[in-house]
Amino acid sequence: MISLLKCMDCGREYPINAVLYTCKTCGGLLDVQHDLDALRATVLRELFDRRLGVPDAPHSSGVWRYKELIAPGLADAQIVTRSEGNTNLYPAPALAAWAGVRALYLKHEGENPTGSFKDRGMTSGVTQARALGMSRVACASTGNTSASMAAYAAYAGMEGIVFFQDRQIALGKLSQAIAYGATCVQISADFDRNMALVREIADALGIYVLNSVNPFRLEGQKSIIFETIQQLRWRVPDWVVCPGGNLGNSSAFGKALHELHQLGLIDRLPRLAIIQAEGANPLYRAYQSGFARYEAVHAETIATAIKIGNPVNYPKAVRALRWTEGVVAQVSDQAIMDAKALIDRQGIGCEPASACSLAGTRALVEAGVIGPQETVVGILTGHVLKDPDATIGYHRDALAGIQAAYPNRLYQAEPSAAAITAILQGAG
């Protein structure tokens, strides 16, 4: 057996095809563990470089290009892929100057098939569901997980079941889940409660859970790091900065970097910076105590994708921070929305949570943690179209508690050339 499931707390091992999300002995989170020693001889930079630009699945996918590091034992025929990944890494010199660093690259995960990085974890999660013979998959979601799962389930001919909160769901995400044909259930509870309900019901009904507690999701999400470093010609940046909600992505980043290092594909690790919204900051609070204390919080933030008070992957995120000498910062909704406006204004665009990467970079430069000569990769996790209400509300300066620093005013004009000319001369 080349891969297995292993409890990160007690070390108990399970076969790779066990339908299990946490350890039966101690309740700890499970890792998909690959036999890195067996892979070392064949998994080389050249292997992945040779696959760049190939036309056919699975290696055309920015996830399955790295198949040996994601599901080495899996038959290619099982793979459910939409050639996800292959997202742009944009140099952003104007934003680098604003944040106060020498170089800033933005990895735009909003360019995935359903508009968020979740597609990278969903291709691996739904593939595992197919390998296990599952016909129904479910998740609780703040939005993007459900959009992605609904699409991949439909594409694979499975039923997708989504547990939504009944309030504050970004419109783009809800409309996607409905459009892709998932069974959508709105529940009057927050994400954390819905998460618990999914786990309870799924076990009883034989439904496969595709929240990021599912370790196969994280395997696919590792490819954000693989692809970024390959795009940098295998040069390692000083920092990788990303938003933290349920902490699946940051956990996956830590595992990806650890594995690349173990395999000798990189010779040093970048430092990981996880950015939380002030109103949804359980990891930040724990970080302040050196991880001595952890407490769930009641989450409130305009960045709905990270509005999570009790992140399921907390222990894995702490491990990722230890592996990478990482840091945690928090930013206000004001800072998130202003940073989003700047990213949008570059023509790149992102949803609110994604802007934590830029707002957090600037905050960490101001705090003297990130140095001005350092190179930063910021992860943009979701597409600008996901949350139109937040964008329009910002530019109308109509968001409660936020004063738009970079609004783009929408002009109203009489239908006359003179009126329009007056506006354009004034605006020019």
Ligand X SMILES: *Cc1c(COP(=O)(O)O)cnc(C)c1O
Measure the CA angle with vertex 112, ends 192 and 265; round to 5°.
95
Contact 194, 166 (CB under 8 A): no
Nearer to Zn ion, 28 or 371 (CB): 28
Min. distance of Cβ 302 from ligand X in angstroms? 13
Q: Which does 124 bind (CB under 5 to 8 A by kind): ligand X, Zn ion, none?
A: none
Question: Regarding beta strands 30-34 and 3-7, do their DSSP bridges make them parallel or antiparallel, or are they unpaired?
Answer: antiparallel
The reply on whether position 241 binds Zn ion by CB under 5 A is no
353 lines the binding site for ligand X (CB under 6 A): yes
Considering the complex, what minimum distance in angstroms separates the CB of residue 109 from ligand X?
A: 8
Query: What are the residues facing 6 on neighbouring strands?
Result: 13, 31
| Count of positions (residues) in the chain | 428
Told to check if 29 binds ligand X by CB under 6 A, we report no
Alpha-carbon distances, residue 82 vs 67, 141, 146, 337 (angstroms): 15, 21, 16, 31
- Stretches 6-14, 200-208, 262-270, 271-279: which one binds Zn ion (CB under 5 A)? 6-14
CB of 120 to ligand X, least distance (A): 11
212 contacts 349 by C-beta, under 8 angstroms: no
| 288 touching Zn ion, by CB under 5 A | no
- Spatial neighbors of 328 by CB under 8 A, at least 6 apart, are 244, 273, 274, 275, 276, 283, 284, 287, 321
Judged by CB under 5 A, which of 4, 5, 16, 23 binds Zn ion? 23
Q: Which of 13, 14, 17, 28 binds Zn ion (CB under 5 A)?
A: 28
Give, in order, the Cα–Cα distances in Å from 393 to each of 89, 130, 400. 28, 41, 9
Residue 26 in the binding site for Zn ion (CB under 5 A)? yes
**From residue 37 to residue 56, what is the string marking binding to ligand X with x (rule CB under 6 A)?**
--------------------
Residue in this structure with the two tokens 């000498």, named with its chain if needed? 325
Which one of the spans 16-24, 46-54, 83-91, 182-190 is the region binding Zn ion (CB under 5 A)?
16-24
Single out the residue of 354, 357, 361, 391 in contact with ligand X (rule: CB under 6 A).
Answer: 354
Residues ≥6 apart with Cβ < 8 Å to 176: 114, 115, 146, 147, 150, 151
153, interface contact from ligand X, Zn ion, none, CB < 5-8 Å by kind? none
Nearer to ligand X, 240 or 263 (CB): 240
Residue 414 to residues 392, 410, 419: CA-CA distances in angstroms?
22, 14, 6
Backbone angles phi, psi at 50, to 5 degrees: -60, -30
Q: Identify the sign of the CA torsion 118, 123, 127, 130.
A: positive
Which CB sits closer to ligand X, 270 or 382?
382
Determine the interface stretch with Zn ion among 15-23, 40-48, 83-91, 255-263 (rule: CB under 5 A): 15-23
Compare residues 58 and 282 and give the one whose CB is closer to ligand X.
282
How many residues interact with ligand X (rule CB under 6 A)?
Answer: 19
Of 225-264, which residues contact ligand X (CB under 6 A)?
A: 243-250
Q: Count of residues binding Zn ion (CB under 5 A)? A: 8
Nearest partner of 80 among 48, 55, 57, judged by Cα? 57
Complex with ligand X: residue 83 or 301, whichever CB lies closer: 301
**Cβ atoms 381, 212 nearer than 8 A:** no
Classify 138 as helix, strand or coil: strand
Nearer to ligand X by C-beta: 237 or 243? 243
- Toward ligand X, which CB reaches closer, 234 or 291? 291
Whole-number Cα distances in Å, 80 to 55, 63, 122, 306, 426: 16, 11, 9, 27, 53
Contact between 25 and Zn ion by CB under 5 A: the answer reads yes
Q: What is the closest distance, in whole angstroms, from the C-beta atom of residue 21 to Zn ion in the complex?
A: 12
Binding region for ligand X (CB under 6 A): 116, 118, 144, 212, 243-250, 305-306, 351, 353-354, 381-382
Binding region for Zn ion (CB under 5 A): 7, 9-10, 12, 23, 25-26, 28
